[in-house]
Amino acid sequence: MKKHLDEDDGSLISDPLFQRLFRLFLLFAEPVDTTIKIPISGTSKNRALQYISAAQAHFIINELFRLIRPRCSTLQIPQQSERVTFRELIELCDLAFPDRKQLEPVVDRVFDRYVSQIVYKGFLMCRKMPGRLNCGTKKSKKAWKSYWCTLVPGTVFLWPLHKKTTVANRRAIELDSNSMVHMGTFEEDRFTWQLYTSKNKYQFGHFDEIQRQHWITDMNLVIDYRNKSDLYEFDKEFSKRPENMGKEKDSSWKLALESDNQRLTQLLNEERRALYDEEIVRELATRMLDEERERSERLEKQVLELEIQLQNEKINNAELKQKFINGIERNKEEDAIPVEQRIQKTLTLNHKTPSEDTYTDDYEICAVDEEENITPQISLNQLDYLVISTQSI
């Protein structure tokens, strides 16, 4: 509602909700006093310059509050100046009823009550009671029938639920000065009351005792004020009663501030819940990022280790390949050497053999001995070598 308060009065009453409030405002508004100069903003032809009294403003607010919270006491609102304009009335409604969804239906009901003058409406049961009984006659009561009922000044309208809602099917009970309403009893599972007119007697029933009390009160009202002008004057005088005003200004301000504080507290709690949810989402996102970073670092480390391992395997493979090539060449060279030489070479590698000088010296000694016919003497080293060679063969 606050977004409309910053606009001019022409845009303010373009809203359907504010149109009904404006009609209700004009119903109780006093004509503009031309002797008092009122500051004009915008066009001077705007009817929103009219005003109502502070008591009437409180009366309208309390009527709306009574419909929203019927079991609560009257709402105490801040004291206002003696003249209340339509814009100030809207500000009061915004302070007392911040939720537009709650305000719209009750504005419609208050509009029907005071502007359309439909005092009450709803579902009930009704049946026509028999007239006076003679001594020799006995009449039974008729069966209950369900109706949609509306109370307007001087008339009770009934629409049968089993028929179409047309004017032809509508039943009207005319009220006069002799009409009266009496409280009934609880019979046939219904709370009953009777309506007596100059011509007929009707019995009404409802399953709710509180609703019965509302119907009786409003039926008495439309009997007392049987035309619209009388009811309008009654409503206007009733709205000016000083009882509509709060008795204590501090208490009024306290209740209004508590209402606004409750609304702000609710908004704050909603913001806190939203912030808490946002923090949870942020923590989850941070945790996921940390896990992803750790996983990435772990994978990078594994890739680096695999690269080092692959490089080492390449080096080992190259060394093995070179050794394999060298071994093949060596085998080829060995295959080209005769068997006797290979055996001799093997023996030479596995055992220690005398040097060539030793063989030469021994050969020279043997030659000298042959010339001198001396038997050559074999040294111990030579014997060992011969023994080992013989064993190897």
In the listed set 184, 211, 234, which residue is the last one of a domain according to the structure?
Answer: 234
Q: Cα(112)–Cα(101) distance, rounded to whole angstroms?
A: 18
Residue at 387 is within a domain: yes
Q: Quick one: 155 and 225 in the same domain?
A: yes
Task: Report the pLDDT value the prediction gives residue 129, as an integer from 0 to 100.
Answer: 86
Residue 75 counted as domain residue: yes
- pLDDT at position 316 is 92
Query: Is the separation of the CB atoms in 353 and 385 below 8 Å?
Result: yes
Same domain, yes or no: 108 and 126: no
The domain of 180 spans: 118-130+142-234
pLDDT at 155: 94
Domain count, the chain: 3
Please give the Cα distance from 7 to 46 (Å, whole number).
14
On the CB side of 19, CA atoms within 13 Å amount to: 4
Give 3-state DSSP helix, strand, coil % of the chain, rounded to 5.
60, 15, 30
Whether 239 is covered by a domain: the verdict is: no
What are the beta bridge partners of residue 192?
205
pLDDT at 5: 53
The enclosing domain of 172 has a CATH number of 2.30.29.30
Q: Which tens digit of pLDDT belongs to each residue from 357-373?
A: 555 555 555 454 555 55
- Cα–Cα distance measured from residue 339 to residue 303, given in angstroms and rounded to the nearest whole number: 54
Tell whether 111 and 147 lie within a shared domain: no
Residue with tokens 């001799």: 344
Asked if residue 220 and residue 199 are part of one domain, the reply reads yes
At residue 9, the pLDDT reads 56
Nearest to 113 by CA among 210, 20, 237: 20
Quote the pLDDT of residue 42. Answer: 44
Rounded to 5°, the CA angle 67-69-70 comes to: 65
pLDDT of residue 137: 47
Residues of the chain short of pLDDT 50, as ranges, are: 38-46, 48, 133, 135-137, 248-249, 366, 368, 374
- For residue 102, being part of any structural domain is answered with yes
Tokens 């023996």 belong to 347
Per-residue pLDDT, 41: 44
pTM, two decimal places:
0.55
Inter-CA distances, 60 with 21, 177, 231, Å: 10, 30, 16
Instruction: Decide if 317 is inside a domain.
Output: no
- Please report which helix (H) or strand (E) contains residue 212, including its range: helix 209-224
Taking the C-alpha atoms of residue 259 and residue 77, their distance in angstroms, rounded to an integer, is 10
